[in-house]
């Protein structure tokens, strides 16, 4: 049943291998961005009433810097699918027709490709980058002391929540991709999706900084599971019960949004206008 998706899994992994140069450029850009954020947060804590060692919304400056570094690595390893762009290209070039007549699900193809990409990214970059980040941050005393059995439980839950985050990200990218059927072009939708996710997932700023009403609203939305929750699980800011609850919420959202995506696709496919390149 699942065997026919294996070529796509492999293609996702191979594509990722082929773009090592882009990844180097990404690294330079990212280091500059992270540095900017670190300077900003240091200035924020230095300017706070309690001075540099203040705790702001439950974060010390050490935890905040760890949070910034880890969400960046997490985003790089986890969010690397081209689902939206590929759907957009399929619409523009008319290749969508090829998939509609093949005996595989259009949705399944993308899920498999991004899963393949996730596996390759995790092995090639995730393992060394997380290890390096945790080692450096840990030795600087930026992370809590790792008490070992507990840390492994958190690590396992972190990997699980990372998988959920990647799947959820792919689902959302797919939904926005299907919306391209209606707008005929993906630029606007892509930037809307990126902004929405960056803000509501806590990548830009931990949700603890949001005003109470907004924070509670966002905490039941799917987005926190895509960035903030996995990182707080890894940093052991969530205890095991909270961690499990966060993963369960994300899993429930994946199911709900997949159902929505199915409905949306069956409506959108009737709208399809092939532009023929």
* Residues within the interface to other proteins (CB under 8 A): 22, 25, 28-29, 32-33, 35-36, 39-40, 42-44, 46-49, 56-57, 182-189, 191-192, 194-196, 198-199, 204-205, 209-211
Count of other CB atoms within 10 angstroms of residue 91: 23
- Smaller CB distance to other proteins: residue 49 or 145? 49
- Smaller CB distance to other proteins: residue 89 or 105? 89
**Minimum separation from the CB atom of position 72 to other proteins (A):** 14
- Smaller CB distance to other proteins: residue 32 or 241? 32
**Minimum separation from the CB atom of position 18 to other proteins (A):** 15
**Minimum separation from the CB atom of position 212 to other proteins (A):** 12
**Minimum separation from the CB atom of position 200 to other proteins (A):** 9
CA-nearest of 166, 184, 172 to 230 is 166
**Residues 95 and 89: beta-carbon distance below 8 Å:** yes
- Smaller CB distance to other proteins: residue 47 or 131? 47
DSSP helix, strand, coil percent of the chain (3-state; round to 5): 80, 0, 20
**Residues 75 and 203: beta-carbon distance below 8 Å:** yes
- Smaller CB distance to other proteins: residue 25 or 136? 25
Helices (H) then strands (E): counts for the chain: 12, 0
**Minimum separation from the CB atom of position 86 to other proteins (A):** 17
Report the distance separating Cα 166 and Cα 114, nearest Å. 8
**Residues 258 and 105: beta-carbon distance below 8 Å:** no
Report the chain's terminal Cα–Cα distance, integer Å: 33
């Amino acid at each position: 049943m699942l065997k026919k998706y294996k070529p796509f899994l492999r293609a996702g992994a191979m594509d990722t291998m082929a773009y090592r140069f882009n990844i180097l450029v990404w690294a330079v850009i990212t280091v500059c961005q992270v540095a900017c954020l670190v300077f900003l947060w240091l200035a924020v804590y230095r300017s706070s009433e309690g001075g540099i060692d203040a705790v702001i919304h439950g974060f010390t400056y050490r935890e905040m810097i760890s949070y910034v570094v880890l969400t960046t690595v997490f985003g790089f390893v986890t969010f690397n699918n081209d689902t939206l762009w590929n759907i957009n290209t399929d619409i523009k070039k008319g290749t969508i027709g090829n998939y509609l007549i093949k005996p595989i699900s259009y949705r399944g193809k993308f899920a498999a490709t991004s899963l393949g990409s996730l596996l390759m990214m995790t092995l090639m970059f995730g393992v060394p980058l997380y290890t390096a980040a945790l080692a450096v941050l840990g030795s600087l005393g930026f992370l809590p002391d790792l008490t070992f059995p507990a840390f492994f439980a958190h690590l396992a839950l972190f990997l699980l929540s990372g998988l959920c985050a990647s799947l959820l990200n792919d689902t959302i990218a797919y939904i926005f991709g299907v919306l391209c059927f209606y707008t005929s072009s993906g630029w606007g939708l892509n930037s809307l999706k990126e902004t929405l996710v960056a803000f509501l997932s806590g990548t830009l700023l931990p949700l603890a900084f949001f005003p109470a009403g907004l924070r509670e609203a966002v905490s039941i939305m799917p987005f926190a599971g895509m960035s903030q929750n996995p990182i707080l699980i890894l940093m052991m800011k969530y205890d095991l019960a909270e961690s499990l609850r966060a993963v369960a919420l994300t899993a429930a959202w994946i199911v709900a949004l997949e159902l929505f995506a199915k409905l949306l696709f069956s409506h959108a496919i009737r709208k399809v206008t092939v532009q023929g390149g």
